[in-house]
Amino acid sequence: MLACGDDDFDADADPTAPVDAGAPDPAPGDAAPPDECPLLELGDTSIDIDSIARVGLQAPVTPMLEGLSRTRLTMELYDDDGSGALPLLETGSYLFTTPPDDNYGTCQHCVLLVGSDRSGAPKRAFYAKSGTFELSQLDPEDRTTIVGRVRDVTLREVGQRDDLTWFDVPGGACFRVADWAFDTRKVNGGACEGVEQCPNEVLQICDPHTATCSDPQCSLTGDPPYCLDGEVCLSQLVGFEESPRGPATGACYGTCEPGNPASCEDGETCRVLGPTQTLGICQRLGSGAPGSACVARDVTTGCVAGYVCEGTPGECAKTCTFLSPTGGCES
């Protein structure tokens, strides 16, 4: 996620919306009326484990930004760092039209729409220019537990100057968010296909066996608690092939033999892990048709037999076992 003053933002990388880093702020008449800004639909809210803020949340949105592979609505809450630049982070109601929240370079309660390319580099950004933010609960002992709501927000395209200050892009695009409610208090037992569907994925996992939100089942560092024989401990906070980040806890997945359908239970398939294809995990089958759009989840392939959800954005792709004695794509 971008941080306030982040100098990695590549504002002029999108040829459809070039940004002059030295451009002046636009005149008020350049902005489109809020009712002309497209309304965003939000997906599952999740905790951003990479955020440098006191609290970071994110949610996928539709429509996505054209030409980019990932579009996320993000929220960052910053606390007093001892410098006096910001007050203590406290519960209450706040306006995005009031300093310090009226600019992404100074905000304490920050709502930003970010579009990124396939490498994850941010290419376009839209900051909240109107609307309200309500923080109703903040746990002083656990920085991941908050309750609040964002209402009636208009996001307008912003860019970053060479001195790292932010400005409204003249004639830039805009979007609206009607209502974004979030509650990350841990509650176990709810149905899930991915940990992002649980209230707090830092404190919970989506149980691969029951498809319900539960406490973490194992440690990624080799310490207790341990998985059972025939299971492997994996983080659900990153992709199965990525190096773990965040809390060193995970979920216990049943292992299987790639290319051997009998090594998983009925209604499951063996998903291959790693380039050597010597290990797989059992995942529930989904309903996505071959080639259809899908969302990668922790406990399901998202697709029918012989296919798994891969890529960004996700697509149901045929699975292959190219290193097995009977190599080839599943029929």
pLDDT digits (tens, 9 = 90+) for 216-231: 999 999 899 999 999 9
Largest CA distance in the chain: 67
CA dist., res. 69 & res. 230, Å (int): 36
Q: Is 55 helix (H, G, I), strand (E, B) or coil?
A: strand
pLDDT score, position 331: 47
98 or 27, which is more confident? 98
Q: Give the position of tokens 């390319």.
A: 117
Please give the mean pLDDT across all residues of the chain.
86
For 309, the domain range is 195-318
Out of 183, 207, 241, pick the residue that ends a domain.
Answer: 183
pLDDT score, position 321: 56
Residue 10 confidence (pLDDT) above 90: no
Same domain, 165 and 218: no
Residue 92 lies in a domain: yes
pLDDT score, position 20: 37
Residue 159 lies in a domain: yes
Residue 169 lies in a domain: yes
Residue 330 lies in a domain: no
Out of 183, 215, 242, pick the residue that ends a domain.
Answer: 183
Q: What is the rounded average pLDDT of the residues 97-118?
A: 96
Beta-bridge partners for 57 = 47, 75
238 CB neighbour count, 10 Å cutoff? 14
Stated pTM of the model: 0.79
Same domain, 70 and 170: yes
Residue 254 confidence (pLDDT) above 90: yes
Same domain, 203 and 179: no
- The domain total for the chain is 2
Same domain, 33 and 78: yes
Out of 155, 183, 211, pick the residue that ends a domain.
Answer: 183
Cα angle 110, 22, 177; round to 5: 30
Q: Give the position of tokens 């930003």.
A: 112
68 CB neighbour count, 10 Å cutoff? 21
Q: Is 120 helix (H, G, I), strand (E, B) or coil?
A: coil
